[in-house]
Chain A
Amino acid sequence: MTSPESTPPGGDDSGRGLSGVQRAGIVLGALAVLLIVFVVLQGSDDSGSPSSSSQTTATQTATTTTTTTEQGTSTGSTSTEDSTTGSTTDDNGSGGGGSDDDAGSETGTTQTQPAAPAVRTVRVVNGQPQGGVSRLEYKKGDRVRFKVQSDVADEIHVHGYDLMKDVTAGGSVSFSFTASIEGRFEIELEDAGTQIAELEVKPS
């Protein structure tokens, strides 16, 4: 594992000389290893997290393969912070065609859609988001639908998408748009400068 070739002084590394071919071999071998690791790691997410992910997978496939708004919102409502959501998403983000089939077969067995795919509601009490800043998770192409109910009058601003709507004190306002930009975006009370929610759009 020590380094380099022929050592001029002392020669304590005798026998360490590497020819150009050997060096090229090492580099190629390393590349091959990396390629294998890359493929294995991508694949392992499919099989690696079957335990609790079946439901999220189901919803996900539903939303990626169709554009029905109802299913789109169901993703929003089930999207509690959950590590498996992360890993399953990654499959689709990178895996290309193959993973869709896997998930599709699971869909058949676990297609238990949540009963009430309600539109997510963000409640603002005393100018602050109730229960802290919550995250609304979607995948690119989904229909984003949520409602803000506020006890203060302000303007609701969805960053990145740059959507603004006024809300009156005690009133509510609804948003509905297509998740076309990936990333995490602030949703805030524009005048007060208070963040009330975070919109997360992952690659589809």
Chain B
Amino acid sequence: MIRRARLAAAAAALAGAAVAALPDAALAHGLVGRQDLPIPRWLFAWGAAVVLVVSFVALAVLWPRPRLEEAREKRVLGVPAALEALAGVVGILAFAAVVYAGLAGTQTATANLAPTVIYVIFWVGIPFASPLLGDVFAAFNPWRAIARGVAWIAGRVAPGKLPAPMAYPVWLGRWPAAVGIFGFAWVELVFVDRDDPTTLAILALLYAAVQLVGMSLYGIDTWTRRADAFAVYFKLFSKLAPLHWRDRALYRRPPLSGAPRLDAVPGTVALLSVMIGTTSFDGLSQGDLWTGTNGIAPTLQQRFLNLGFSQETALQITFTIGLLLMVCFVGALYRLGVAGMGSIGGRHRPGELAQRFAHSLIPIALAYVVAHYVSLLAYQGQAMASLASDPLGDGSNLLGTASATIDYNVISATGIWYVQVAALVLGHAAGLTLAHDRALSVYPRVRDATRSQYWMLAVMVGFTSLGLWLLSASAQS
């Protein structure tokens, strides 16, 4: 009973914090001069209603025995080694082209290939492709391809003389990836020079260098699976895919069924909190609560100005704090649900449950990405036509498409709204399904499993409502 009361108090405190945390923004994610219109009130209300109904229907209809946990894979076709090597070479060439464009091309962000490839094709395009096609990035991963190439040559030149990799510390888990993704989000959402092509190219080189060092110390596969932030990030999304590439072959499986196989090592929940939290902050930072005249950001920024920081620094500090708080808020909301689950059945510690249910957050994170970035991909993605022909912005026309422009009417604003709401609702349903399935294998009694899911339901409804609210007219000015 006391435990319940404590949880309720914590929930109330979190809700209070959420309200207090809500404030006008001059910053938004990079590159584009177009932002989405906020979701109208009626659609917001409707979306929320769908979420609730879906949730309760799910409780009533979902299966009584774990299904996804035991799903089998079927081999579809093999992948020749030559193709694997070719994909690696393509990845390295693409990486080199982007870095070269960033360093040598024009410094106008929209006329240079680098920012659009990095922020749109890489950061958004791959997460859209991965849940459908599987982990496509793994094949093209440039730094991994370089490392494998070097290892192959070294193996030829001096067979058997390569030192064995060091043991990767268990406690480190996915923490390096969580830090890496937070770092990228910081550059994208906070850093004042985020659109600067040269800066981006240098950061890309630095990132690749760190990965090469990491791979040489801990082994290519171990490092890529745990610490290469982007490889880990894209792989998480690919776990939802009906296609699975491994051991030079392609397998098919039921959608979502890869997620329960997630090995939730330390840092996994942190990584997912970073993913959801940073995207949330992207939404929040465009709203009144954050950037409004009396919003949090101007107030905080003034504080830092008074401390003697420059305008720019004060703004970056303020936004960094916002980003951190949002990540912590998301993590705390999840832990709260897990703590609630821990009060049921009495045999499971919250820490253990947090790891065992972590995979149910993947669809939520994907839904946030789709809802926030679909318009960026649909519109700014078209810029690739002209940028591919004129990557340096020097007036060349390699493919004859340099004069292509962006058609902003490919999808109407109304169409974007529906995609956003649909993504959140589907992500919600998928998250619930995964959590339900896991609960059935965690709790021996179906009744306990169901009761534990009231808590997860509350958490999921919280995330989805937050997602909807961030996109809605209530949050945006």
Contacts and interface: CB of A to CB of B under 8 A. Distances in A.
Contact of B409 (A2, A6, A135, A180): A180
B345 interface: no
Given A184-B36, A203-B412, A1 B56 contact: yes
A41 B37 contact: no
B57 A26 contact: yes
B413 A202 contact: yes
A162 interface: yes
A7 B440 CA distance: 11
Nearest to A94: B414
Contacts of B60: 1, 3, 18, 23, 26
A182 interface: yes
B477 interface: yes
Interface stretch (B42-50, B122-130, B363-371): B42-50
A50 interface: no
A3 B35 contact: no
A155 interface: no
B445 A41 contact: no
A45 B42 contact: yes
B271 to A, nearest CB: 30
Contact of B37 (A94, A186, A202): A202
B34 A160 contact: yes
B408 interface: yes
Interface in A172-204: 180-186, 188, 195, 200, 202-203
Contacts of B477: 81, 135
A118 interface: no
Given A1-B60, A34-B49, A202-B413, A184 B34 contact: yes
Contacts of B13: none
Interface stretch (B61-69, B77-85, B136-144, B275-283): B61-69
Contacts of B375: 183
Given A180-B409, A203-B413, A186 B46 contact: no
B35 A183 contact: yes
Nearest to B59: A3
Contact of B36 (A87, A183, A186, A203): A183
B112 to A, nearest CB: 15
Interface stretch (A8-16, A55-63, A102-110, A145-153): A8-16
A18 B26 contact: no
A34 B61 contact: no
Contacts of A83: 473
A93 B50 contact: no
Given A3-B62, A4-B64, A184-B34, A89 B447 contact: no
A154 B445 CA distance: 71
Contacts of B451: 2
A33 interface: yes
A37 interface: yes
Contact of A90 (B35, B36, B42, B444): B42
Interface residues of B, number: 46
A181 B450 contact: no
Interface in B1-57: 26, 32-38, 40-43, 45-46, 49-50, 53-54, 56-57
Nearest to A4: B64
A195 B409 contact: no
Nearest to A12: B447
Main secondary structure of the interface of A (DSSP, over half): mixed
A183 B413 contact: yes
Nearest to B32: A159
A7 B64 contact: yes
A37 B52 CA distance: 12
B464 to A, nearest CB: 15
Contact of B450 (A2, A135, A185, A203): A2
Contact of B446 (A4, A23, A186): A4
Contact of A34 (B53, B59, B436): B53
A34 B54 CA distance: 10
A132 B414 CA distance: 29
A182 B45 contact: no
Nearest to B44: A41
A187 to B, nearest CB: 9
Contact of B408 (A44, A183, A186): A183
A93 B33 contact: no
Contact of B57 (A7, A30, A202): A30
B41 A86 contact: yes
Interface string B297-328: 00000000000000000000000000000000
A89 B62 CA distance: 39
Contacts of B65: 8
A132 B61 CA distance: 53
Nearest to A89: B40
Contacts of A186: 33-34
B414 A203 contact: yes
B33 A159 contact: yes
Interface in A21-40: 23, 26-27, 30, 33-34, 37-38
B298 to A, nearest CB: 10
A185 B33 contact: yes
Given A3-B446, A30-B53, A183 B42 contact: no
B405 interface: yes
A10 B447 CA distance: 10
Nearest to A11: B446
A81 B63 CA distance: 49
A166 interface: no
A70 interface: no
A69 to B, nearest CB: 22
Contacts of B293: 132
28 contacts: A1-B60, A7-B446, A7-B447, A8-B65, A8-B446, A9-B444, A10-B445, A13-B450, A27-B57, A38-B46, A41-B45, A41-B46, A41-B49, A42-B42, A45-B42, A86-B41, A87-B40, A93-B413, A93-B414, A135-B477, A160-B408, A182-B408, A182-B414, A183-B35, A184-B35, A185-B33, A185-B34, A185-B35
6 residue pairs, one from A and one from B, having the closest CB atoms: A159-B33, A4-B64, A90-B40, A182-B413, A181-B408, A184-B35
Interface of B: 26, 32-38, 40-43, 45-46, 49-50, 53-54, 56-57, 59-65, 293, 375, 405, 408-409, 412-414, 436, 444-447, 449-451, 453, 473, 477
